[in-house]
Amino acid sequence: MNMARQNWSNTFAAHAALITYTLIALFPVFVILINSFKTRKAIFREPLALPGADSFSTIGYETVLKQGDFFLYFQNSLIVTVVSLFLVLLFGAMAAFALAEYRFKGNMLMGLYLALGIMIPIRIGTVAILQLMVASGLVNTLTALILVYTAQGLPLAVFILSEFMKQVSDDLKDAGRIDGLSEYRIFFVLVLPLVRPAMATVAVFNMIPIWNDLWFPLILAPAEETKTLTLGSQVFIGQFVTDWNAVLSALSMAILPVLVLYVIFSRQLIRGITSGAVK
């Protein structure tokens, strides 16, 4: 160990602080998960105990699966998130390329116009968005949500991606032009693969807010068949508020898919956030 630089008491204090905060961060999730597998009595008698042989019960999950259509909600959330992310990345990358690559009249203005939405939340326009969706018959469709999330994600995507596209070597693109590639092929074949790390960052930034949003599903698509997982669990819990087994199980079922995905992708996610997209 580094004698001249290391300080044991500091190291100890650092770990103590981090462990304390980690416990605070994980405790609520832990409590919800363990109690969802217990009988009603055990939940109240010993809330902090792990489920044992006599306290184990899946009654809550049975209620949830009987009463709520959680698989449908999950599927809706998945469709909305995946399609929105795809559109944000595709449209965002195309616009970012146009802004980063070509000099044309109004380039600056177009960049500023698209950047407006970074700071102004789309929720401000909710009243007119609802009217628009009513007029076009898109209320209570997943399309409405996908359109809104695409519009919401585009400004930051264009901003981040154009910064990265400016770093792609001009020589590479010019070599492609001399080889006779069209501008479209230069974009899809040469540039897109090089900005993949930035695309991952953009995807990460958009994924969590889309998946977790409650506002737009509540306003634009509250029908039973278009409920997202977030809205579905909110409504379910509201109805079964006195059935603690059901509430805890519903919460666990909302936590688990996200937690599993997070554990699998946490490394990419954290690398995306720390990759310096927001300098």
Partner 1 sequence: MGSLRLKNIHKSFGSVDVIKDVSLEVSDGEFIIFVGPSGCGKSTLLRIVAGLEDATSGTIEIDDKVVNAIPPSQRGIAMVFQSYALYPHLTVRDNMSLGLKQAKRPADEIRESVDMASNMLSLNEYLDRRPSELSGGQRQRVAIGRAIVRQPELFLFDEPLSNLDAALRVNTRLEIARLHRELNATMIYVTHDQTEAMTLADRIVVLHDGRVEQVGSPMELYNKPDNKFVAGFIGSPQMNFIDATEFGRKDAKTIGIRPEHITVSRESGDLKGNVSHIEHLGADTNLFLDCGSAGLISVRLQGEQDFEIGSSVYAIFDADRTYRFDENGQTIVNV
Partner 2 sequence: MPDPIDKRPPRRWHIAVFLAPAVLVYSAIMIFPLFATLNLSLYTADGQNQVFAGLDNFRTLFGDPRWSESFWNAFKNNAWFFLIHMLVQNPLGVILAAILSHPALRFSAFYRTAIFIPTILSFVIVGFAWKLILSPVWGIAPDMLGAIGLKSLYAPWLGKEAYALTTLSLISVWQFVGIPMMLIYAALLSIPDEVLEAAECDGITGISAFWKIKLPLILPSIGIISILTFVANFNAFDLIYAAQGALAGPDFSTDILGTLLYRTFFGFQLQLGDPNMGSTIATAMFGIILIGVCIYLFGVQTRLRRYQF
Contact set for partner 1, span 3-22 (CB under 8 A): 3-5
Q: Is 139 in the site for partner 2 (CB under 8 A)?
A: no
Q: Rank residues 3 and 25 by Cβ distance to partner 1 and give the closer one.
A: 3
Q: Is 90 in the site for partner 2 (CB under 8 A)?
A: yes
Q: Which of 80, 142, 158, 199 lies at the binding interface for partner 2 (CB under 8 A)? A: 158
CA–CA distance, 93 with 88 (Å, rounded to integer): 8
Q: Which of residues 184-203 bind partner 1 (CB under 8 A)?
A: none
CB atoms within 10 A of CB 231: 21
Segment lying near partner 2 (by CB under 8 A), choices 26-34, 53-61, 169-177, 194-202:
26-34
Q: Is 10 in the site for partner 2 (CB under 8 A)?
A: yes
CA–CA distance, 189 with 181 (Å, rounded to integer): 9
CA 223, 226, 232 angle in degrees (round to 5)?
Answer: 80
Q: Which of residues 246-265 bind partner 2 (CB under 8 A)?
A: 247-248, 251, 254-255, 258-259, 262
Provide, rounded to whole angstroms, the least separation between the CB of residue 1 and partner 1: 7
Q: Rank residues 5 and 105 by Cβ distance to partner 1 and give the closer one.
A: 5
The size of the interface with partner 2 (CB under 8 A), counted in residues, is 96
Partner from partner 2, partner 1, none contacting 230, C-beta within 5 to 8 A by type = partner 2
Q: Is 53 in the site for partner 2 (CB under 8 A)?
A: no
213 Rama class: left (phi>0) / alpha (psi -120 to 50) / beta: beta
Partner from partner 2, partner 1, none contacting 94, C-beta within 5 to 8 A by type = partner 2
CA–CA distance, 203 with 153 (Å, rounded to integer): 9
Q: Report the C-alpha dihedral over residues 207, 208, 211, 212, rounded to 10 degrees.
A: -160
Residues 73, 228 contacting (CB under 8 angstroms): yes
Provide, rounded to whole angstroms, the least separation between the CB of residue 5 and partner 1: 7
Residue 50 DSSP code? P
CA–CA distance, 50 with 28 (Å, rounded to integer): 14
**Two structure tokens written together for 4:** 């001249």
Q: Is 116 in the site for partner 2 (CB under 8 A)?
A: yes
Provide, rounded to whole angstroms, the least separation between the CB of residue 151 and partner 2: 4
Partner from partner 2, partner 1, none contacting 3, C-beta within 5 to 8 A by type = partner 1
Pick from 102, 209, 95, 66: nearest CA to 159: 95
- What's the one-letter identity of residue 271? R
Q: Is 36 in the site for partner 2 (CB under 8 A)?
A: no
Partner from partner 1, partner 2, none contacting 75, C-beta within 5 to 8 A by type = none
Q: Rank residues 4 and 112 by Cβ distance to partner 1 and give the closer one.
A: 4
CA–CA distance, 235 with 231 (Å, rounded to integer): 6
Please state, in angstroms and as integers, the Cα–Cα distance from residue 222 to each residue in 65, 171, 215, 234, following that order: 20, 51, 10, 11
Q: Is 8 in the site for partner 2 (CB under 8 A)?
A: no
Give the residues lining the site for partner 1 (CB under 8 A). Answer: 1-5
